[in-house]
């Protein structure tokens, strides 16, 4: 190879005929390298084989047959499926610049535009640099009151159900809880979706369902403008998007006025106490950004931070219902550390077992279960060459359940994460644990989301016992962007006897009132 390279250099210096020869030689070398690379294992299938069950399940079976990198081909279309942590590291970190979001960006364009999740290249770089500082530690700490307040509303709702002996469908309640949190946290809007089910809340769900439908649909009929204009479902989507955009524009305008009236110096950890939202930070930072881009970013965070956290809570409660021993240990920790207080940021360090329960739930049910990329140039994945323009699925599901990487991979064992060790989402597990992705596109809401779900989990299990409702449909998976249950998570919810029933909880009520004042002021 060295010899060929030297010949090529000499030829390159020998005028145009030499350069032409050098080019031919380079092509010859590339061809030889491609021949030397091993042929990637290939699974040929028909689409029918993966329709009907969540698509990441057949990918797990194929991973056991074909290994950590293989090609899945349907007729003319093919995908590279990656379940090897070191190849995932290469894609997400070492050579991340050579990959874009591909299909994902195409599917989400209608709702997120060029928001941070679908964005690539320069737009992504600029917006990432603007948004990451907004989610600083002080901001997340300030959100603790909001997490507690929103969960308190859910507790109040569950109190009624527990008193009346009514079973509750928890998946939709978690979805509403996290919608209320993210609306307030990102653009200071109180959806109040736990009590309100019309207008804007419905519009958010129509949009979300459409994004999920598009990510799993086989025929992208909505790309045809005339069908978009006449199919009733698409007209509803357009109407819902218009309503959300109108509200976002309005919130941006209100926030701009607030920022103009302010007379404070913008600093790195800037926060406005009346409105600590991410939107307020972004406007106060005063960076050049179009309203359309700002709206795309807000919409992206609304969706990214809503369904993911809700799905984590749903599957955590499902797992706890099957593992009463874990539930008992969890409740013991929460009783000891918190009692009936709302959690503070200091409690996050003390609720170690609670954190491990979430870590382990995220291992078994990663949200989303698959990360999507497209190669911008040819590259080598492990032993295999890939071309430019290849669609790649990194299966977090497979990596998190690989028998080569985990002992009893299918079992829910929070103890596998040492209690006194660092949070596994923050230390390098060498890409075998990727609940928030990795590398330059790692989730920027990871701390926010972790504290949000720990708060909700701790407060709920302190107050209630949960079990699967007798006669409820079996809890099966279906997928959109995150893993959903096929028919809901119907639970029997009953008040625990913790001693606090006899002594109305003054501390938590006082904190709740404070939080409400803050929220209504804002
Ligand atoms: C990206 C998971 C909550 C905002 C990601 C990625 C994952 C993830 C796996 C990487 C996607 C990829 O590489 O293709 C989660 C989980 C959450 C959660 C499991 C809840 C438990 C949140 C929240 C926010 C958020 C609350 C907003 C405050 C984002 C954004 C990105 C992202 C903006 C794109 C980052 C970029 O491309 O630069 N999330 N997320 N996420 N997440 Fe989260």
One-letter-per-residue 3-state SS of 95-148: CHHHEECCHHHHHHHHHHCCCCCCCCHHHHHHHHHHHHHHHCHHHHHHHHHHHH
Atom of ligand 1 nearest to the CA of 101: 14
326 class by beta-carbon count within 10 Å (0-12 exposed, 13-18 middle, 19+ buried): buried
Instruction: State the pLDDT at residue 506.
Output: 40
- Sign of the alpha-carbon dihedral angle for 502, 504, 506, 507: positive
Which segment of 23-27, 84-88, 120-124, 422-426 scores lowest on mean pLDDT?
Answer: 23-27
Instruction: State the pLDDT at residue 500.
Output: 55
Compute, in angstroms, the gap from residue 244 CA to the centroid of ligand 1: 21
Of 217, 258, 242, which Cα lies nearest the Cα of 295? 242
Write the DSSP assignment of 468-503 as a string of letters.
Answer: EPTTPPP--EEESSSEEESS--EEEEEE---SGGGS
Instruction: State the pLDDT at residue 499.
Output: 61
Percent of the chain scoring above 90 in pLDDT: 65
**Which residue has 């593992």 as its token pair?**
323
Instruction: State the pLDDT at residue 504.
Output: 42
Instruction: State the pLDDT at residue 48.
Output: 61
Instruction: State the pLDDT at residue 140.
Output: 95
Instruction: State the pLDDT at residue 508.
Output: 45
CB 79, CB 85: distance < 8 Å: no
Instruction: State the pLDDT at residue 9.
Output: 72
Ligand 1 pocket test, pick from 124, 305, 363, 443 with the greatest ligand atom count within 8 Å of Cβ, gives 443
* 69 pLDDT tier (thresholds 50, 70, 90): very high
Compute, in angstroms, the gap from residue 389 CA to the centroid of ligand 1: 24
Query: How far does the chain reach from its first CA to its final CA, in angstroms?
Result: 67
Mean pLDDT of 89-107: 94
- With residues binned 3-state (H G I as helix, E B as strand, rest as coil), the percentages for the chain, rounded to 5, are 60, 10, 30
Instruction: State the pLDDT at residue 503.
Output: 43
Instruction: State the pLDDT at residue 30.
Output: 64
Which segment of 38-47, 328-337, 353-362, 376-385 scores lowest on mean pLDDT?
Answer: 38-47
128 lines ligand 1 (CB under 6 A): yes
Cβ partners under 8 Å of residue 19, min gap 6: 11, 12
Q: Report the nearest-CA residue for atom 28 of ligand 1.
A: 445
Instruction: State the pLDDT at residue 49.
Output: 61
Mean pLDDT of 92-121: 93
Q: Report the nearest-CA residue for atom 1 of ligand 1.
A: 443
CB 478, CB 484: distance < 8 Å: yes
Say whether pLDDT at 163 is over 80. yes
Cβ partners under 8 Å of residue 446, min gap 6: 425, 436
Percent of the chain scoring above 70 in pLDDT: 89
Q: State the pairing for strand pair 464-468/490-495.
A: antiparallel
Which segment of 95-109, 167-181, 254-268, 366-380 scores lowest on mean pLDDT?
Answer: 254-268
* 308 pLDDT tier (thresholds 50, 70, 90): very high
Q: Which two tokens stand for residue 377?
A: 């140039």
Top pLDDT among 304 and 199 is at 304
Instruction: State the pLDDT at residue 152.
Output: 97
C-alpha–C-alpha distance, residues 53 and 45, integer Å: 15
Residue 434: CB atoms within 10 A of its CB come to: 24
Look up the pTM and report it: 0.88
317 lines ligand 1 (CB under 6 A): no
Instruction: State the pLDDT at residue 47.
Output: 62
Which residues share a beta bridge with 100?
374
Q: Which two tokens stand for residue 242?
A: 């218009």
Q: Kindly provide the residue ranges of all beta strands, DSSP E only, lying in 320-452, ordered along the sequence.
A: 370-375, 379-381, 384-386, 391-395
Say whether pLDDT at 518 is over 70. no
Q: How far is CA 90 from CA 95, 228, 269, 394, in A?
A: 5, 39, 33, 11
Compute, in angstroms, the gap from residue 444 CA to the centroid of ligand 1: 6
Top pLDDT among 170 and 30 is at 170
What is the CA 213 to chain-centroid distance, rounded? Answer: 17
Top pLDDT among 165 and 228 is at 165
Of 67, 84, 96, which Cα lies nearest the Cα of 400? 84
Which segment of 43-52, 104-113, 275-284, 432-441 scores lowest on mean pLDDT?
Answer: 43-52
Of 307, 313, 254, 306, which Cα lies nearest the Cα of 283? 254
301 lines ligand 1 (CB under 6 A): yes
CB 253, CB 220: distance < 8 Å: no
Compute, in angstroms, the gap from residue 446 CA to the centroid of ligand 1: 7
Say whether pLDDT at 61 is over 80. yes
Compute, in angstroms, the gap from residue 40 CA to the centroid of ligand 1: 31
CB 71, CB 391: distance < 8 Å: no
Say whether pLDDT at 360 is over 90. yes
Q: Report the nearest-CA residue for atom 21 of ligand 1.
A: 309
Mean pLDDT of 359-374: 97
Q: Which two tokens stand for residue 3?
A: 């010899």
C-alpha–C-alpha distance, residues 445 and 117, integer Å: 12
Compute, in angstroms, the gap from residue 427 CA to the centroid of ligand 1: 17
Q: Report the nearest-CA residue for atom 14 of ligand 1.
A: 371
CB 155, CB 118: distance < 8 Å: no
Q: Report the nearest-CA residue for atom 29 of ligand 1.
A: 443
Instruction: State the pLDDT at residue 34.
Output: 60
Q: Which two tokens stand for residue 484?
A: 């959903």
Taken as a whole, the chain contains a residue count of 522
150 lines ligand 1 (CB under 6 A): no
* 509 pLDDT tier (thresholds 50, 70, 90): very low
Mean pLDDT of 468-497: 91
Compute, in angstroms, the gap from residue 426 CA to the centroid of ligand 1: 14
* 223 pLDDT tier (thresholds 50, 70, 90): confident
C-alpha–C-alpha distance, residues 8 and 190, integer Å: 66
Compute, in angstroms, the gap from residue 66 CA to the centroid of ligand 1: 29
* 185 pLDDT tier (thresholds 50, 70, 90): very high
448 lines ligand 1 (CB under 6 A): yes
At 470, phi and psi to the nearest 5? -60, 135
**What mean pLDDT, rounded, does the chain reach?**
88
CB 376, CB 388: distance < 8 Å: yes
Compute, in angstroms, the gap from residue 34 CA to the centroid of ligand 1: 36
Instruction: State the pLDDT at residue 510.
Output: 38
Atom of ligand 1 nearest to the CA of 442: 10
* 422 pLDDT tier (thresholds 50, 70, 90): confident
81 lines ligand 1 (CB under 6 A): no
314 lines ligand 1 (CB under 6 A): no
Which residues share a beta bridge with 437?
435
Q: Report the nearest-CA residue for atom 3 of ligand 1.
A: 305
Which segment of 138-152, 205-219, 334-348, 454-468 scores lowest on mean pLDDT?
Answer: 205-219
C-alpha–C-alpha distance, residues 517 and 260, integer Å: 24
Which segment of 104-113, 129-138, 151-160, 512-521 scores lowest on mean pLDDT?
Answer: 512-521
Instruction: State the pLDDT at residue 231.
Output: 78
């Amino acid at each position: 190879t060295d010899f060929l390279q030297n010949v090529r250099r000499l030829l390159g210096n020998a005028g145009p005929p030499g350069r032409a020869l050098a080019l031919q030689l380079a092509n010859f070398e590339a061809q030889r390298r491609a021949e030397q690379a091993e042929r990637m294992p290939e699974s040929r299938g028909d689409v029918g084989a993966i329709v009907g069950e969540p698509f990441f399940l057949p990918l797990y079976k194929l991973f056991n047959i074909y290994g950590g990198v293989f090609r899945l081909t349907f007729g003319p279309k093919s995908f590279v499926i990656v379940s090897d942590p070191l190849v995932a590291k290469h894609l997400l970190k070492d050579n991340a610049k050579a990959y874009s979001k591909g299909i994902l960006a195409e599917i989400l364009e209608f709702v997120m535009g060029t928001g941070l999740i679908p964005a690539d290249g320069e737009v992504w770089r600029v917006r990432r640099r603007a948004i990451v500082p907004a989610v600083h530690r002080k901001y997340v700490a300030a959100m603790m009151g909001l997490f507690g307040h929103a969960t308190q509303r859910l507790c109040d709702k569950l109190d009624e159900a527990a008193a009346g002996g009514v079973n509750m469908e928890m998946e939709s309640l978690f979805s509403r809880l996290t919608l209320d949190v993210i609306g307030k946290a990102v653009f200071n809007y109180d959806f109040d979706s736990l009590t309100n089910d019309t207008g804007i809340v419905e519009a958010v769900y129509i949009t979300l369902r459409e994004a999920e439908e598009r990510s799993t649909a086989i025929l992208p009929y909505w790309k045809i403008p005339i069908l978009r204009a006449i199919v009733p479902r698409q007209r509803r989507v357009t109407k819902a998007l218009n309503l959300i955009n109108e509200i976002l524009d309005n919130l941006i305008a209100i926030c701009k006025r607030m920022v103009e009236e302010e007379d404070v110096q913008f600093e790195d950890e800037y926060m406005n106490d009346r409105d600590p939202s991410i939107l307020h930070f972004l406007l106060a930072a005063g960076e050049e950004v179009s309203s359309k881009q700002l709206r795309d970013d807000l919409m992206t965070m609304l969706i990214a931070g809503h369904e993911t956290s809700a799905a984590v809570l749903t599957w955590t409660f499902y797992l706890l219902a099957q593992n009463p021993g874990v539930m008992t240990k969890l409740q013991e920790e929460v009783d000891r550390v918190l009692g009936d207080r709302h959690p503070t940021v200091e409690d996050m360090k003390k609720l170690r077992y609670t954190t491990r329960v979430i870590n382990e739930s995220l291992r078994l049910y990663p949200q989303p279960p698959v990360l999507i990329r497209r190669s911008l140039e040819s590259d080598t994945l492990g032993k295999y060459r890939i071309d430019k323009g290849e669609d790649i699925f990194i299966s977090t599901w497979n990596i998190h359940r690989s028998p080569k990487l985990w002992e009893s991979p299918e079992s829910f064992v929070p103890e596998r994460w040492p209690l006194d060790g660092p949070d596994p989402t923050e230390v390098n597990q060498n890409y075998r644990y990727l609940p928030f992705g990795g590398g330059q596109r790692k989730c920027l809401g990871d701390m926010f989301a972790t504290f949000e779900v720990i708060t909700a989990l701790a407060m709920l299990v302190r107050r209630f016992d949960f079990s699967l409702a007798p006669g409820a449909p079996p809890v099966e998976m279906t997928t959109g962007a995150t893993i959903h249950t096929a028919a809901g998570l119907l639970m029997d919810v009953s008040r625990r006897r913790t001693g606090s029933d006899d002594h109305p909880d003054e501390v938590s009520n006082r904190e709740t009132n404070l939080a409400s004042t803050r929220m209504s002021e804002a």
